[in-house]
Structure 1
Amino acid sequence: MNTANPQLEGLYMALAAINRLLVEKQLLTHEEIRETLAEVERAVINDPNAHNVSPSHSKAVAFPIRLLSVANEAAEKGVHPSFEELARHVGQQR
C-alpha cells in the first residue's frame, strides 16, 4: 500500500472490524460475507463498462475487496492480522 493512503488503511481495517461485529452479533455469517465479497469482486473484475481500464487499475479496485475477504477468513479462525499482514497475503494470492 502506498504510504500516501493511510486513510484508506484505516477505512479497510474499520470495515473488517464492522464485518467481525456483524458476525459476532449474528446478523451475518462469515459465509454470507465471503459470498457477498466474492460477488462484488466478480462484478468489478468483469465490469463490461471497464473495457478501457488497465489490468493494474482493475487490481487496484479489487484490492480492498480481497483484503476484506482475507480479513474475514482470518476472523473466522479467530485471528485479527494487521493491515500489513492482510495486504501481504492479498499480494501473495494474486
Structure 2
Amino acid sequence: MNTANPQLEGLYLALAAINRLLVEKGLVSHVEIQDVLQTTERAVLADDKPLSISSSHQKAVAFPIRLLLLANEAHEQGKTFCFDDLAREIGRRT
C-alpha cells in the first residue's frame, strides 16, 4: 500500500471534521458547503480541460471532493461515517 494513502485518508477525515465544526458553530450551513463542493467538482470534471488530462485523472482529483460531499450529507442526516463507507459509496455512485 502506498504510504500516502493513509495520510490522505486522515486529511480527508480532518477536513470533514472541520466542515462539521464550521456548521456546528453556525459559520456556514450544510447547504453552503454542499454548494461550494459541487461547484468545485463541476470545475474539476468540466470538459474544457486540455486533452493531456485524462478522465481517470479528473476522477482521481474529484475523489476527495466527492468524499467531503458525502461526509457533509451524512452529517446533515445525523449519520456517522468512516472513510471506507464513504469511499465505497463514491464507487457505487460513479
Look up the SS of the partner of 2:89 in the other structure. Answer: helix
RMSD across aligned C-alpha pairs, in angstroms?
Answer: 1.1
Name the CA shift for 1:53/1:73 in 2 (closer, same or farther; >3 Å): same
Q: How does 1:52-63 map to 2 (within 5 A)?
A: 52-63=52-63
Name the CA shift for 1:47/1:7 in 2 (closer, same or farther; >3 Å): farther
Number of corresponding residues: 92
Residue 53 of structure 1 and its aligned partner are, at CA, apart by 1.1
TM-score (norm 2): 0.92
**1:89 and 2:86 correspond:** no
1:38 maps to a residue whose letter is Q
1:88 maps to a residue whose letter is R
Following superposition, which runs of at least 4 residues in structure 1 exceed 3 angstroms of deviation? none
Q: How does 1:1-94 map to 2 (within 5 A)?
A: 3-4=1-2, 5-46=5-46, 48-94=48-94
* Distance in 2 separating the partners of 1:51 and 1:64: 22
TM-score (norm 1): 0.92
Give % identity: 59
Q: Which runs of 5+ in 2 are unaligned?
A: none
Residue 48 of structure 1 and its aligned partner are, at CA, apart by 2.8
Look up the SS of the partner of 1:52 in the other structure. Answer: coil
Look up the SS of the partner of 2:14 in the other structure. Answer: helix
Q: Deviations over 1:18-51 (max 9, x none)?
A: 0000000000000000000000001111163443
* Distance in 2 separating the partners of 1:59 and 1:30: 23
Look up the SS of the partner of 2:80 in the other structure. Answer: coil
